[in-house]
Amino acid sequence: ARSRQLYIIERMEENGYITAEQAKAAKAEPLALRTSGDKRTLHAEYVAETVRQMVFAQYGQDTYTRGLNVYTTIQSSEQMAAYKALRQGIMDFERRQIYRGPEKFVDLPDDPKKMEDAIDDALEDHPDNGDVMSAVVLEATPRKVVVVRQNGEQITITGEGLKPAQSGLSDKAPPAKQVRKGAIIRISQVPKAGWEITQLPEVEGAFVAVTPQSGAIRALVGGFDFAKNKFNHVTQAWRQPGSSFKPFIYSAALEKGFSPATVINDAPLFFDAGVTGGQPWEPKNYDGTFEGPMTLRKGLAKSKNMISIRVLQSVGAQNAQDWIAQFGFDAEKHPPYLTMALGAGSVTPMQMAAGYSVFANGGYRVNPYLVTKVTDQMGKVLSEFTPPPLDESARAIDARNAFVMTSLLQEVTRSGTAARAQATLKRPDIYGKTGTTNDSMDAWFAGYQPTLTAVTWIGYDTPRKLGDRETGGGLSLPVWISYMQHALQNVPIAEPTPPAGLSHESGDWTYTEFSKGGGVSSLGMESRSNNSSEQLPANDEKKKILDLFKN
């Protein structure tokens, strides 16, 4: 950069653009270099690409020649908090994985100069990925590894920093997985252990946060690293939501006379081959246990599958399919079968953010948006977007429904599968739901504070098991909490007030017209078997969706 600076100044002087005195002064000016570690660097690559596509669709080639300025809804500090939180969550998961071995091996000559060149060439082909840095091993034993970085810095890794790669340091490790001299590996700095050996993750993730009153997107991270994978998981990844979808089924149930105090039997269900049109189906709870009668509130907090299935049976799968469309979901991606109760359909993280925003804002449908205005190089406004007001034309569900669902989702973050949320953030106005699909292939947390909705997803691009013990509460919830700790720093606690038309009896809420025994007081107390075929899949659909969800 310094060489180029001097060359340009000299050419300007030679061609008469500046005087000799100006050239001398310019050459004396120090260069302010911006490095990849500069804290001012905003990681919004997925946002930038999304905006580029949107603007190009409207302005064509003028996008690149007209000098357009595009203003977005992104909050820079929240964007950085989201970026760091998602990467940290994925790297925490990576530490629990089996070490896959070095990325490549290079021969290191004895001649120092040739060795230096070989190291530079090798690391040039394996650039740093943010804080996941590349290095070449100079020395390796089970107790100590010495590596060198591209700048010539040597780093010694010992103790806890070796644990993630312990299998690769064993004498019995296969040659392709052994950490030895000439191996190209990844290292990162951790607060307590100093430097540690790590590896680039194979798993992916997504994070999006929106203002529920307007749909303005405040933070969007479409994956672990844009340079590594440009697929935007927030908008393009259609994944099964698992239990994070249950609140929309429960919302439909409130309109049919259910209340948080409705007692439902968490008991086994069995559907024989005559009902399913194929193999018998005996769904299970995540932990494999059944706890008998419990309230709907407790059933959602503990994410009981039997409770959700019984609720959907009573509501009617077709009614539920119609209901979820009001939140912005594609009805055809959620077939009207009982498996809908377990989140067997397909959603994007952006859809989930829009859906949960309906609960957060009191029942209104909002469409997430990213661009507020576009101006030309002179500042003239070419286009501008103002979100429509939240009036009755935007209403998706009754305000009572949104309030009661918020109360139920508060229980999830207070005593249920996401209790860590309130315990860590130390505020009651936190609402949400975990989701873990069958064999832990997708891990979700979707939740909100009344002024902010956020959704986290983690999984493999080609779906496969994350691990037997990996759940939405263990994987995605910590990412969500980390972001919220930053975003809610100066936001006052705001719990919604109950709207008209609700009664409070027996310690919980119910619609006034369903009070005093007028609603559904209990469900599923009769027998273990069920012979209704109305909401079960036909034989040609069976294979697609009978691989059901644990949580």
| Residue 256 pLDDT exceeds 70 | yes
Portion of the chain with pLDDT greater than 90, in percent:
82
Helix (H), strand (E), coil (C) string for 234-275: HHHCCECCHHHHHHHHHHHHHCCCCCCCCEEEECCCEECHHH
Average pLDDT over residues 510-525: 92
Report, as an integer, the average pLDDT of 203-211: 98
DSSP structure class, residue 132: B
Which residues 6+ apart lie within 8 Å of 359 measured at CB? 247, 251, 402, 405, 406, 409, 431, 448
- Lowest mean per-residue pLDDT among 155-169, 217-231, 270-284, 458-472: 270-284
pLDDT tens track for 343-352:
999 999 999 9
The reported pLDDT for the residue numbered 549 is 39
CB atoms within 10 A of CB 33: 8
pLDDT tens readout for residues 523-534: 987 644 444 444
- Tell me the average pLDDT across 513-519: 92
301-320 average pLDDT score = 96
Written as one string, the DSSP assignment of 328-371 is T--GGGS-SSGGGGGT-S-B-HHHHHHHHHHHHTTSB----B-E
Q: How confident is the model at residue 275 (pLDDT cuts 50, 70, 90)?
A: low
Q: Give the per-residue pLDDT at 551.
A: 39
Q: Which pLDDT value is given to residue 547?
A: 47
| Per-residue pLDDT tens over the stretch 47-94 | 999 999 999 999 999 999 999 999 999 999 999 999 999 999 999 999
**pLDDT, tens digit (0-9, with 9 covering 90-100), for 14-29:** 999 999 999 999 999 9
pLDDT tens by residue, 129-175? 989 999 999 999 999 999 999 888 899 999 999 999 999 999 899 99
Nearest alpha-carbon partner for 343 in 305, 302, 383, 288: 305
Share of the chain above pLDDT 70, in %: 93
